[in-house]
Every structure is written in C-alpha cells, then in structure tokens.
A and B are shown apart, each in its own frame.
Chain A
Amino acid sequence: MFGPKTLLNPFERYTEGQLLTVGISAGIAGSLLAYVFNGRFDGVVDLHFLHQVAWHEPFTDNLIVLICLLAPLLLLGKYINSKTRIIDITTAILIARIPFLVLPLFNINGYMQRLAEEITRSVGEGAMNGSTTLEFTLGGMEMVGLIVFAGVSILAVVWSITLLYNGFKTASNAKTISHKVLFALAIIAAEMLSKIVILKMITHS
C-alpha cells in the first residue's frame, strides 16, 4: 500500500485532514531538528548551517517559506481553476517540505558547518593568493561526507519539487505546458520573496 505513488503523489489518495496532520507534525519535528543541529531554512529550497540558532528561528523560517509559496501558488491555482482550495495548496506545500526537514541531521556535532567553513576559507585564501586552483585540507572521509550530503540534497530538491508539482496539479487540475511554465515561475517568485523576507529578518535581528 505504501509504494512509489505514495512517496511521489500522496495527494491523489489521502484526505486533506491526513495530509495536514502529517505535514504539520513533520514541520514541527523538522524545525526542532534544525534548532538542535543549528540549521536555517533561509529560502524555499535553502538550508544553511550556523554556529547557533535560536529555537524559534527554524519555525519562523518554515512559516515564511509556507506563506511565500502559498501566495503565488494559490493565485496561480485560482487563475487555472477557480475551484482550487487553499487547504489543498497548503497541504501540498507542507508535504513537499518533508524531504528538506531531515537534512539538518547532516550537521550532527557541527559536521557540515565545519566542512562549509573549511571550503569558504580555502576559497578566500585562493582568491587572496591569486591562485586559480583550490586546495582543500579535507580528508578522504570528509570528502565522502560532502559528496553524500550534496547527493542527498539534490535528491531532496528533486523529490520536493515533484511532490509540490503533483500536489499543485491535483489541487488545481493543471494540465497544459503553459500551466507547468507558470508553476515554475511561481516557484522562482516564491524563492526570491522568501530570500528577501528572511534576509531582512536576519539583518534586523
């Protein structure tokens, strides 16, 4: 019963109540994980690791991402089909966030943050020396960790966008190529909007 269809398109089968319960529970669990492992969801498809994160910051990030995605997708959904319901777009966004919510686990003991700092330091030193090649002081295991994180992150992005598109398609009965193009533009608009709002929030705090 729990096959690939459930993983890629649960919206065809499950009721809005079930999807909402899973989406909100996963959102709370993912925000707690991000707090524990110092992650910030600072954009629709972003995750960055910091030295310290306040408990409320990942919750606020996820709420801002939800609102930034909801506004353009609901407008587009209503434009495509006036019967599109806000609850169906909301559940699509909440479920599509799930693949991102487990990524903070990569920062156990500040692992990913240390790697990111090492890479940033190497890039900075290379630029100062006028070097065209980068010299990392990462060990073999660290390189493997970095590659695994990159691979899992790409998979999470693809899975999340697939879930979001399938949820949006079910909510609005979108079918044509122009609908797909407008969906892509709405995601780009949401990413820009969320970046602006979260960056403004970070600089003001």
Chain B
Amino acid sequence: MKPKLPIHCPSCAETLNVSQLSCSHCGTAVAGNYTLPVLLRLSEDEQQFMLDFFLCSGSLKELAVKMGNSYPTVRNRLDDIIAKIKAMNEANNK
C-alpha cells in the first residue's frame, strides 16, 4: 500500500509543515520547519485532476473526454481549484 501524504493535522485540522527530511540511502536527516508547496496542500483528488490537466496539455475539452464529464463540469472543477490556490496564496502572504 502506498502511504498517503498527510497534509492536515489529525488533531486540529490545520495545515501541516515539514519538520524532517531524510535520505533513504545513507540515513542522513535534515530537521527544520518548511511549509508544504501549494500543490501538495491540495487534496489527493485535486492533485490527480491537476496532473491529468497537465498531461492533457491544458486542454479542458480533452480532459472532459478522458474523465467522461461535460466541458463546463471540468471547467468548474478547475475554477474551484484555482480559487482554493489563490486563497492559500493570500493566506501565505499575510
């Protein structure tokens, strides 16, 4: 089973930060307090949608055919993700 990257705190639901990174080859660990990149803070479904959109060369029509949805449904989903990313960026800049 591929473990899911947790992005929200299971206790208070706030966005998690990265506090440790380690090398799987030599075991070296780096500790610190790093915020997750915006794209990693999206849900798994949203990340998959963005990846599919990228792999369709940004063509919503092609993505709609691939997903079996109508064009406006796919466009609405993209608009919702854009709004979410903008809100995250605004929160970051405060």
Interface residues of A (CB under 8 A from B): 11-16, 81, 83, 85, 88, 170-171, 173
- Identify the closest chain B residue to A18 (Cβ): B70
- When distances are taken between beta carbons in the complex, the residues of chain B under 8 Å from A171 are 72
B73 contacts A170, C-beta separation under 8 Å: yes
Is A16 a contact partner of B79 (Cβ separation < 8 A)? Answer: no
Of B68, B70, B73, B79, which one neighbours A81 at CB under 8 angstroms?
A: B79
Instruction: Say whether A15 contacts B73, CB under 8 Å.
Output: no
| Inter-chain contact B76/A173, CB cutoff 8 Å | yes
CB atoms of A11 and B75 under 8 A apart: no
- When C-beta atoms are compared, the residue in chain B nearest to A11 turns out to be B70
> B35 within 8 Å of A by Cβ?
no
Query: Which B39-78 residues have C-beta < 8 A from chain A?
Result: 64, 68-73, 75-76
| Size bracket of the B interface | 10 to 19
Can you list 19 A-B contacts with CB-CB less than 8 angstroms, sorted by A residue number? A11-B70, A11-B72, A11-B73, A12-B70, A12-B73, A13-B68, A13-B70, A14-B70, A15-B64, A16-B70, A16-B71, A83-B75, A85-B72, A88-B72, A170-B70, A171-B72, A173-B72, A173-B75, A173-B76
Contact, CB under 8 Å: B79 / A15: no
CB of A15 within 8 A of CB of B76, answer no
Judge whether B69 and A13 touch: CB under 8 Å.
yes
- Asked whether A83 lies within 8 Å of B71 as measured between CB atoms, the reply is no
Q: How far is the CA of A81 from the CA of B78 in the complex (A)?
A: 13
6 nearest interchain CB pairs?
A: A173-B76, A12-B73, A170-B72, A88-B72, A171-B72, A173-B79
Minimal Cβ-Cβ distance residue in A for B77 = A173
Across the interface, which residues of B come within 8 angstroms of A81, CB to CB?
A: 79
B76 engages A170 (CB within 8 Å): yes
By a CB distance below 8 angstroms, the chain B residues around A173 are 72, 75-76, 79-80
Distance to closest chain A CB from B28 (angstroms)? 47
Per a CB cutoff under 8 Å, which of A12, A16, A83, A85 touches B69? A12
Among candidates A11, A13, A83, residue contacting B79 with C-beta atoms closer than 8 Å: A83
Asked whether B71 lies within 8 Å of A15 as measured between CB atoms, the reply is: yes
A12-B69, A173-B76 known; 12 new pairs, CB 8 Å cut-off, are A11-B70, A13-B69, A13-B73, A15-B64, A15-B71, A16-B71, A81-B79, A83-B79, A88-B71, A170-B72, A170-B76, A171-B72
